[in-house]
Amino acid sequence: MPSEEENVEEKQKEHTPAPPSEKIWMDVYLDQDGRVAKHDWCLDTGIIKNQGGEVAKPKGFYITILNKMKYILEKDLGHKVDSPKISQAQISLILKDLDKVDGFYDKWWRTESSQLESFITVVQNRRPDLSKRFIIDAVTRTLNG
């Protein structure tokens, strides 16, 4: 029998797209280009499908970032010596907080940049001593390998 977390994650993945005749015209990106395209939207939730180039990252990506942050803080790389470390318990709490963010891992409508903003907020809520720059650096290091 699937756990409650699996049921919630399954619901987030399920979207019923509107029929092609019901697609709506909207901007593709939120920039000055002014390009428009027809967008799908979910009949169940009303959420409009992301048509931009950014795609939401899966949960494993954020687990990797948090572990990279833990490694950086343990090894005193690029920050002051004896700064507070990040524990596995803190990582677990941050991941639980991310799970509570509405549609955080939903690739249907969430973008990577909106995820990053929420991720920074959640991490700084648990660890206010970690700067935005440090968190973004850990994300960049993770993306670069």
Q: What is the domain partition of the chain in residue ranges?
A: 4-39, 59-144
Cβ contact 38:70 at 8 Å: no
Mean pLDDT over 79-105 rounds to: 86
Average pLDDT, the chain: 76
- The pLDDT of residue 6 is 47
For residues 125 and 45, what is the distance between their CA atoms, to the nearest angstrom?
Answer: 29
| pTM of structure | 0.70
For residues 71 and 141, what is the distance between their CA atoms, to the nearest angstrom?
Answer: 12
Higher per-residue confidence, 27 vs 111: 111
Secondary structure (DSSP) of 52-112? SS--PPPHHHHHHHHHHHHHHHHHT-SS-TTPPP--HHHHHHHHHHHHHSTTTT-TTT--H
Beta partners for residue 5, in sequence order: none
- The pLDDT of residue 7 is 45
Q: How many residues make up the chain in this entry?
A: 145
Cβ contact 54:30 at 8 Å: no
Cβ contact 32:89 at 8 Å: no
pLDDT above 60 (res 3): no
Task: Identify the DSSP state of 18.
Answer: P
- The pLDDT of residue 82 is 66
Cβ contact 48:125 at 8 Å: no
